[in-house]
Amino acid sequence: MAQFRTCPDTGLYFHKSAESLIKANAVAAAVALLVAGILGLLVVLTRWQAIHLLPADQFYMALTAHGIDALIFWIIFFEMAVLYVASSVLLRSRLATPAWGWVQFILMLVGAVMTNVAIFQGNSSVMMTSYVPMQAAPHFYLGLILFAVGALIGCFIFFGTLVVAKQEKTYDGSIPLVTFGAVTAAIIAVFTIASGAIILIPTFLWSIGYIAHIDAEMYRVVWWGLGHSSQQINVAAHVAIWYLIAGLVFGARPMSEKVSRAAYLLYILFLQLACAHHILVDPGISSEWKVFNTSYAMYLAVLASMIHGLTVPGSIEVAQRGKGFNNGLFEWLRKAPWENPVFSSMFISLVTFGFLGGITGVVMGTEQINLIIHNTIYVPAHFHATVVTGTTMAFMAVTYFLIPVLFRRQMILPGLAKIQPFIFGGGMTILILFMLGAGTLGVSRRHWDMDFTGAALGFDYPGMAYTLMGIGAFGGVIGVVGGAAFLLITVGSLVFGKKLEPSAGLLQSFGVPLAASCYTDKRPETLPRAAPLPAGHHTSSFEAPGTFVLALVLLVSFVVYYFINWKYLASVWPLS
Amino acid sequence: MTSFMPPADRIWWKVPVGREEIVWILIALTWCLIMFFMMPYWHIYGKQNLSNEAYQTTPAKYGAKVQEGIDQNKVGEEAGVPIIHPPAGSDVYMLARLWQWWPILELEKDKTYRLHLSSMDWQHGFSVQPININMQVVPGYEMVLTVTPDQSGEYGVVCNEYCGIGHHTMVGKIYVKE
C-alpha cells in the first residue's frame, strides 16, 4: 500500500518510497559536490600561476576528477531527485517500481565510486572527455557505463510514474509545466545515454584489449552526442526549476502555457544536433554540416532559451504587479525577496545563465569564430557560467526549499544562507569573466603551466594574461567559499537542524518504522487544475514591461558582443 | 501557484498568447536568422574560413612526408628541432607528437601556404599564439589549412589539447619573415 505524508507548510504530498529516494539521491549529489569543490579549489590554486600549488600529475588527476564529479555525478544525482519530485511529488502519485529506484541509486553510486577510484589510482588522468587514443583504466569507463545505466533506469521510473499518475487520475487536465520540463529533460537524457553507450561501451572493450582500434574522430563526434546533450538535460531541468521557484515563491503562473511548452519542445527537437559546435575546427567535417548543425539546429534551441529567459522573469513580474508592486519598470524586482536564498539563488542562476553562459556559448559555437576560441580557457569560462552559476545555483535554490519541506529540518545559519548565493554567484562570476578575458588572449585550457617550464622552445604570454588568470582564480576561491557555505548550511541542517516532524529517510524504505506515524494509506486528493484567471485579464497591453526591457538589454549585449568577436576574427591570419 | 499545477484551461493550447511574448519571439527569431546568415556570408566575403580539406592517413605515411619536407627545405636548427623554409605556395608538413611540434616553420609574410597537420600518437591542439588560431589535431587525419600569415614576427605553437604529463612542454615555433 502506498503511504503518503502531507507537508503542513506547502501542502505537497510525499510518497514514502519516493521521499527516501529523493533524499538518497540528493545526499549523494551533495557528496559529489563536496569532492568536486575541493578539487576545484586545488585546480584554481594551481592555475593561479603565482601559487601554482599542485605538481603536473596531480593537477591533471584533480582536473579529471573535478570535471567528472561536478559535471556528471553532482548534477545527475541531483537530477534523479528532480525527476522523482517532478513526477511523484508534483503529481501526487505513487512512484512506479520503487525497488527499481534503488537499483538506479546503487548502480549510480557504484559507478561513481568506481570511476573516482580509477582516477585516484593515477592511471586515468584523461579528462572528462577521455579522448582516444589516450587510454584510461578499464574501470574508469565501466564506472561511467554503470552510472549511465542507473540514470537510464531513473528516467524510465519517471516515465512509468507519469503513466501511473495518468491511469490513476491523480491530477486533472494536463501535466504541470514543471513536470513538462522534467519530461523534456528525461527524453533528452535517454538519447544522451544512448550516445554514451554507443561510444563508451566500445571504448571500454578497447581498454581491455577486446577491440583493436577506436577512430579518434569518430570518438569525438559520438562522444559529444553524450557530452553536450547531457548539458541540455541540465538546461531543461534548471529551467523547470526556475518555473517551479517562480511558482513557489511568487505564486507566479506561466505567462503562456503554449509558449513555454513549445519552447521545451524546441529543446527536444534541436539540441542533440547542436553538439557539432565542439568539433568545428576538427579535420574532415564539412562546413555545410557544421553550419546546419550549429545554426538551424542550435539557434532554434537558443530561441527556446531566449523565450524562457523572457517568460520566467515575466511571470514573476506579472505576479508581483498583481500584488501591487506596480511603480515604474522595476519595483517588482527591487521588492522581490532578495533575502530568501531560494529566490536569490534562482534569480542569479537566470541572469548569469543568459548573460554569461548563453551569449558566450552562441558566440563560440559560431563556425568561424570558434577558431579563435577552441580549447582556450574561454571554453571552461563559458560552461562554468552555464553549469555552475546556471544549473548548480538553480539546484542550490531548490535545495534550500527542500530542507524544511522534504527533510523536515529547520535550516541552520539563516544569516549565512541569506548571503550564500551572492558569495557563490559573485565569486564564480569573477572567475568566469576573467577566464573569458584570458581565453581571448589565447591562454590554453587543461594546461598545467603557462610558463612552459622545461619546454625546449618557449612562448611568453602577455603579462595581462597572468593578471587575468590570477584575478579569475581569486574569484574561484571566493566561489569555493560560497560552495562550502552552501554545504555547511544544508548538511549542517540535516544533522543539527531542529526536527520539524518525522519524515522517511533511507531506512524507512527497508521497513524500519518512523517514530510517529505521520504517513497514511489514504490516497491524496486529485491535484486540481490551477484557478482560472479573473475575467478580462488578458489585455493587449504589455503585462511585464520591466522584463521586456531586461530582455532587450540582453539582446543588445548579445548583438554587440557577437559582432565584436567577428571583428576580432577578422584580425587573424587569412585562412581558407 | 500554477507552474506546478495543471493549466487552468483544459484546452491550454488555444489560449491566445500575449503581445509581449509574440514580439519577443519575433525579435529573437530574427536575431537567430541573422546569426545563421553570418556564417554563409563569411564563407563568401570573409577571409578566415576552414577549407575542410582533410585526408585519412597513418603516422608512418604522414611522418615520411614531414621528413621529406625537412630534407628538402631545412635551413637550420633550434633546440634540436629542424627549421624549414618552404617555397611560397607549397605544401608544408608539420606533425604533432608527445611532446613536440615538428619542424619549426619559417614562412614569408603575405605568402600563401598549404599547411598540413596531423598527429603521430594522441590528440593535440594546434594553437598559434599570440595571434590565437586554434585547430584540433587528430591522429589518423591529415588536415590542410591554406594560410596566409599577414603579420611578421615570432609565433609560439602551444598544444592546447591535453596530451599527458608533458603537455605543458609541447611548444613549437613559426617565424614569419618580411
Q: Residues with Cβ < 8 Å from A364, sequence gap 6 or more?
A: A277, A370, A373, A374, A378, A379, A382
| pLDDT for A422 | 98
CATH number of B53-177: 2.60.40.420
Tens digits of residue pLDDT in A129-149: 999 999 999 999 999 999 999
Q: Do B18 and A538 touch (CB under 8 A)?
A: yes
Tens digits of residue pLDDT in A472-484: 999 999 999 999 9
- Cell numbers representing residue A82 in the block: 528532480
Q: Do B138 and A282 touch (CB under 8 A)?
A: yes
> Bridge partners of A15?
A4
Distance CA A346, CA A393 (A): 6
pLDDT band per the 50, 70, 90 thresholds, residue A552: very high
User: With a threshold of 0.90, does the pTM exceed it?
Assistant: yes
Asked if B178 has any chain A CB less than 8 Å from its own CB, the reply is: no
| CB contacts, 8 Å: A371 with chain B | 48, 50, 133-135
Give the residue on B whose Cα is nearest the Cα of A298: B32
pLDDT score of A535 more than 80: no
| CB contacts, 8 Å: A440 with chain B | 132
For residue A107, the distance in angstroms to the closest alpha carbon of chain B comes to 30
Q: Do A562 and B35 touch (CB under 8 A)?
A: yes
Task: Mark which residues 40-99 of B lie under 8 Å from A by CB.
Answer: 40, 42-43, 46-52, 54, 56, 78-81
| pLDDT for A537 | 58
Q: How far is CA B90 from CA B53, B60, B126, B177, in A?
A: 15, 22, 20, 16
Average pLDDT for chain A: 93
Peptide bond into B99 cis (omega under 30): yes
| pLDDT for A3 | 86
The long-range contacts involving A63-66, CB below 8 angstroms and separated by at least 24 positions, are: A63/A39, A63/A125, A63/A127, A63/A446, A64/A119, A64/A124, A64/A125, A64/A126, A64/A127, A64/A128, A65/A35, A65/A36, A65/A39, A65/A116, A65/A119, A65/A120, A66/A36, A66/A39, A66/A40, A66/A42
pLDDT band per the 50, 70, 90 thresholds, residue A508: low
Distance CA A151, CA A162 (A): 17
pLDDT score of B46 more than 80: yes
| pLDDT for A276 | 82
Alpha helices in chain B (DSSP H): 19-45, 59-73
Angle at B137 between CA B131 and CA B138, to 5 degrees: 170
Distance CA A368, CA A443 (A): 19
* Closest among B96, B91, B120, B119 to B107, alpha carbons compared: B91
Q: Do B169 and A456 touch (CB under 8 A)?
A: yes
- Cell numbers representing residue A333 in the block: 524586482
pLDDT score of A66 more than 90: yes
pLDDT score of A514 more than 90: no
Angle at A380 between CA A376 and CA A384, to 5 degrees: 155
Of A284, A306, A461, the CB nearest to B28: A306
Q: Residues with Cβ < 8 Å from A508, sequence gap 6 or more?
A: A16, A20, A514
CB pairs below 8 Å between A and B: how many? 333
Sign of the torsion formed by the C-alpha atoms of A562, A557, A246 and A393: positive
φ and ψ at A441, to 5 degrees? Answer: -85, 5
Average pLDDT over residues B32-46: 94
Identify the helix (H) or strand (E) that includes residue A227: helix A216-250
pLDDT score of B108 more than 60: yes
Asked if B169 has any chain A CB less than 8 Å from its own CB, the reply is: yes
Q: Is there a contact between A207 and A214 (Cβ–Cβ < 8 Å)?
A: no
Q: Residues with Cβ < 8 Å from A205, sequence gap 6 or more?
A: A211
Complex-level ipTM beyond the 0.90 threshold: yes
φ and ψ at A395, to 5 degrees? Answer: -65, -40
pLDDT band per the 50, 70, 90 thresholds, residue A1: low
Distance CA B114, CA A44 (A): 39
pLDDT: is A295 or A160 the higher one?
A160
pLDDT band per the 50, 70, 90 thresholds, residue A70: very high
pLDDT score of A536 more than 60: no
